[in-house]
């Protein structure tokens, strides 16, 4: 029990890194139900203890973060939920990402349905092979294999992949703005999936130990991945080494706008449409613009600073500095469409301009 509680505490704190860390709680609960010894009453008792402890840590962190000055939650609950539409969007994005993960698949410029059909055939073929492998092992062989470390490891990988995708899909459907559905967010699933492929090779080797050519499958798999991905990885690494990316890019680190923000006196509060970037690179608290964070349209002719009920605007009217990056225009474009230029103009109408920079 003490180790279970300690594990739940650290699992709950995973939320401090990214909200997707909540997937660990779901994966851990599934693991306890399926892979720990004891009856169902004992398992459910452990799940409740685990879930309550981990959830308490997450809630504590969320409450603490919400009361910090100048900190705004990057996401809110989606008000108007179109469940089927959002799930369809997530499905299409998942298929596109998984297709790119297949070695050499990007050389085949196929539309959505053929890609989905091809991946379904590959998955079904692998499942059939595994079924035949377990059948060939016999009851004794299967029982011995399921108790082996490699089988338990693969079970943990499957549970975590499922929990991660379900958690990300739920956030994609119910949060506003939705999280990115891309290679970066699904990177934990990528390397876990590769491990599962090689675990499958081990299953085949256990089922047919006399077939020596099966022992070449891992090396063939590594060779295929190397041929497919090493060239593009080298190009990516070379570009990152030279120019960096994101907050660590040369362009961002040499930003004239950020240099101007660093020069501001310490007693001047900062408000920005890119508050995380300012906080990270300048090392000072920064208020967010609610219009950007919550994606709620405001009256088209309203000016920033005129709303006495919003903390960032009150701070601005009392001597704060409003820092707008060029990204502000496309951040609100989904709210105003063709009226975005008018909204940008009204947003800063009659405000005193301290400086204007390239970014």
Question: Which residue ranges of the chain lie beneath pLDDT 70?
Answer: 68-81, 138-147, 176-177
Distance CA 108, CA 129 (A): 25
Cite the DSSP H helix spans in the chain. Answer: 2-12, 23-35, 40-66, 83-101, 112-146, 149-174, 187-207, 217-243, 250-253, 256-262, 275-282, 290-293, 311-317, 327-331, 333-336, 340-347
Nearest Cα neighbor of 192 from 225, 168, 217, 164 is 164
Tell me the three state secondary structure of residue 335. Answer: helix
> For residue 75, what pLDDT is reported?
59
Which residues touch 7 (CB under 8 Å, ≥6 apart)? Answer: 28, 50
Q: Match 């401090």 to its residue by tokens.
A: 16
What's the distance, CA 196 to chain centroid? Answer: 21
Distance between first and last Cα of the chain = 54
Q: Are 345 and 301 in contact (CB under 8 A)?
A: no
37: Cα within 13 Å, side-chain hemisphere: 1
> For residue 121, what pLDDT is reported?
92
* Max intra-chain CA distance, the chain: 82
> For residue 176, what pLDDT is reported?
66
> For residue 323, what pLDDT is reported?
92
Which residues touch 83 (CB under 8 Å, ≥6 apart)? Answer: 173
Q: Report the predicted TM-score, pTM, of the whole model to 2 decimal places.
A: 0.66
> For residue 80, what pLDDT is reported?
60
- Per the DSSP assignment, residues forming a β-bridge with 77 are 175
Distance CA 146, CA 136 (A): 14
- The edge-to-edge listing of strands for the beta sheet with 321-323 is 287-288, 270-272, 321-323
**Length of the chain measured in residues:** 359
What is the CA angle 233-221-240, rounded to 5? 10
- Per the DSSP assignment, residues forming a β-bridge with 288 are 272
pLDDT tens digits, one per residue of 211-237? 888 888 888 888 888 888 888 888 888
Structure-derived torsion over alpha carbons of residues 172, 177, 182, 183, reported in degrees to the nearest 10? -100
Q: Match 């891309």 to its residue by tokens.
A: 182
> For residue 358, what pLDDT is reported?
84
> For residue 215, what pLDDT is reported?
87
Copy the structure tokens of residue 224.
Answer: 């295929």
Which residues touch 248 (CB under 8 Å, ≥6 apart)? Answer: none
Nearest Cα neighbor of 289 from 280, 94, 168, 278 is 278
Nearest Cα neighbor of 182 from 296, 20, 326 is 20
Cis peptide before 177 (omega within 30 of 0): yes
DSSP string, 169-187: HHHHHHEESPPP-STTTTH
> For residue 322, what pLDDT is reported?
92
């Amino acid at each position: 029990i003490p180790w279970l509680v300690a594990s739940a505490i650290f699992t709950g704190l995973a939320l401090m890194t990214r909200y997707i860390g909540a997937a660990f709680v779901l994966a851990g609960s599934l693991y306890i139900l399926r892979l720990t010894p004891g009856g169902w009453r004992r398992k459910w008792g452990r799940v409740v203890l685990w879930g309550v402890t981990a959830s308490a840590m997450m809630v504590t962190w969320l409450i603490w973060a919400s009361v910090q000055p100048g900190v705004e939650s990057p996401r809110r609950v989606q008000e108007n939920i179109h469940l089927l539409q959002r799930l369809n969007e997530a499905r299409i994005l998942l298929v596109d990402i998984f297709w790119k993960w297949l070695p050499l698949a990007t050389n085949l410029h196929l539309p959505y349905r053929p890609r989905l059909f091809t991946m379904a055939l590959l998955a079904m073929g692998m499942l059939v092979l595994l079924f035949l492998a377990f059948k060939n092992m016999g009851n004794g062989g299967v029982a011995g294999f399921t108790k082996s470390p490699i089988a338990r490891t693969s079970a943990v990988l499957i549970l975590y992949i499922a929990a991660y995708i379900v958690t990300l899909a739920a956030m994609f459907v119910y949060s506003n703005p939705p999280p990115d559905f891309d290679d970066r967010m699904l990177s934990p699933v990528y390397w876990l999936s590769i491990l599962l492929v090689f675990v499958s090779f081990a299953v085949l080797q256990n089922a047919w130990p006399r077939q020596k050519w099966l022992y070449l499958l891992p090396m063939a798999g590594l060779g295929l991945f190397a041929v497919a991905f090493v060239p593009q990885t080298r190009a990516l690494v070379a570009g990152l080494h030279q120019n960096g990316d994101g907050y660590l890019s040369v362009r961002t680190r040499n930003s004239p706008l950020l240099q101007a923000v660093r020069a501001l006196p310490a007693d001047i509060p900062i408000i920005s449409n890119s508050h995380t970037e300012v906080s990270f690179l300048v090392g000072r608290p920064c208020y967010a613009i609610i219009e950007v964070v919550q994606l709620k349209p405001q009256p088209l002719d309203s000016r920033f600073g005129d709303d006495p009920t919003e903390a960032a605007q009150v701070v601005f009217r009392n001597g704060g500095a409003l820092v707008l990056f060029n990204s502000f225009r496309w951040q609100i474009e989904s709210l105003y469409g063709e009226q975005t230029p008018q909204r940008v103009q009204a947003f800063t109408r009659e405000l005193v301009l301290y400086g204007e920079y390239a970014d």
